[in-house]
Structure 1
């Protein structure tokens, strides 16, 4: 996929075109970016899987990486093998990236390595709640395999499509206390500080990066404000996304 220095994956080109056309998605992502960055301590921030680099519209000095090149991506690199020295960053953020990673535990070890003590990994990912799991399974092009073992060793496949995914991976790693405990035992340098549930109505109604949308941009702010007032025990069953914060200890 990287055969030419000037090659851009057309899926990213289409993704960026929808971003430019849809005000609702830009406003929703601005809120995602705010949450990611607010959960990081002060200092250098690395954006993993930056895609079309829209996080830079919220924070221009962030270092954006992706396995595919695109304007605004600072470093083309595999998330499992990051070209940064130990303790270089205060924060590592990622939006809809973990479920695309071939070896998530290996990535978390690498993220821990490049974080300073007290630094944080903050991610927003699909959540397999009672409602969302049915939607993702039947109405989304990316697969959901709840029987996968994200801790299992996987041999590197150099021909793997970077867009391959299992949307269940973040839920399998972080949704339950036993799973979070296993993450911490497997990677003793990381602690799971918080897991919360979000994206109830506004994001599904926006259509994401599809051409269609059921919500105008003008309604996004009010809908997000309403969603934040919904109690967590309800969001835990209805949310389409989860935000996970891990800290380097």
Structure 2
């Protein structure tokens, strides 16, 4: 075991290697995010975590950033203070990162700065709906606070752990009108070009990065395709994910 890597990342990497169903669902997530970015150019992954994006991004010019060091991380830095020159990237993607940030506004300001005009951000985050709230609130270790101000400092403290979070932040920012307007006014360089509910059954049935899974990989693929047909009718009630694409204005 590499004692220079946070043991939680190593635990996630171990689960990733053992759970084909999880890899199937996350493979769909990366396919969607990368498909929403410009087809060519330089990309920044924020929150490289346990390094599983490497399975789906071969052939891309990607800089992988995380606040925790690991052999697969190219740059160790805070997403709210990116160590890159202006207009360095054509696309940014992040999976389960935004809800961990203490000051989301600073992240969006920094993302807008390092993106080239026309560049895009694609992110997939927890989506809070009536059904998913039960799962996230009672079966997940991270809290859900739906009355927080998502653009304010979340007050985690100076010794914030990278895993501290509020799973409600993305839904508040992109599904509540007052917060969508506030974000647009706070970071006018960015505009939201797509936001949609994602994931009904497959993701929770995989168990995420828990040790258990209730479905094999083959069934996960089938459920992901079935979900695409059902999401227009059921997304608002029971989606587990929120998929958002933003673009830097020319």
* Displacement of 1:154: 5.8
- For each residue in 1:143-174, what CA deviation from the matched residue of structure 2 results, as whole angstroms up to 9, or x when unmatched? 01111112224678442100000000001100
Contact 2:123-2:243 within 8 A present in 1 as well: yes
Q: How many residues align?
A: 245
What's the TM-score once normalised by structure 2's chain length? 0.94
Whole-Å separation in 2 of the counterparts to 1:90 and 1:177: 28
Does residue 211 of structure 1 match 2:211?
yes
1:122 alignment partner, SS class:
strand
State the partner residue of 2:77. Answer: 77
Residue of structure 1 equivalent to 2:146: 146
CA contact (8 A) 2:102 2:153 kept: no
* Structure 1 residue 15: Cα displacement: 0.5
Question: Moved runs in structure 1, 4+ residues, more than 3 A?
Answer: 153-158
User: What is the root-mean-square deviation of aligned Cα atoms in Å?
Assistant: 1.5
2:162 is matched with 162
- The 1:75–1:26 alpha-carbon spacing in structure 2 relative to 1, beyond 3 Å, is same
Residue matched to 1:59: 57
Note the residue ranges of structure 1 that are not aligned, 5 or more in a row: none
Q: 1:102 to 1:153 in 2, by over 3 A?
A: closer
> Are the counterparts in 2 of residues 93 and 121 from structure 1 also a CA contact under 8 Å?
yes
Shift in Å, 1:139? 1.2
| Counterpart for residue 123 of structure 1 | 123
Moved more, 17-26 or 223-232: 223-232
1:48 matches 2:42: no
Query: Is 1:199 aligned with 2:196?
Result: no
Q: Structure 1's 23 and 231: CA in aligned 2 closer, same or farther, altered over 3 A?
A: closer
In the TM superposition, residue 179 of structure 1 has moved relative to its aligned partner by 2.3
Deviation string 1:32-51 (CA, Å, 9 cap, x unpaired) is 11011000012111000110
Query: How far apart, CA to CA, are the structure 2 residues paired with 1:36 and 1:88?
Result: 19
Among 31, 36, 55, the alignment partner of 1:34 is 31
CA distance in 2, matches of 1:231, 1:213: 22
Structure 2 gap segments, 5+ residues each: none
Query: For residues 201 and 28 of structure 1, what CA distance do their matches in structure 2 show?
Result: 10
Quickly say closer, same or farther: Cα 1:245–1:38, change in 2 above 3 A: same
- Contact 1:77 / 1:83 at 8 angstroms: preserved in 2? yes
- Aligned equivalent of 1:237: 237
* Alignment equivalent of 1:9, drawn from 6, 11, 32: 6
Could you tell me how far 1:231 is from its partner in structure 2?
A: 4.2
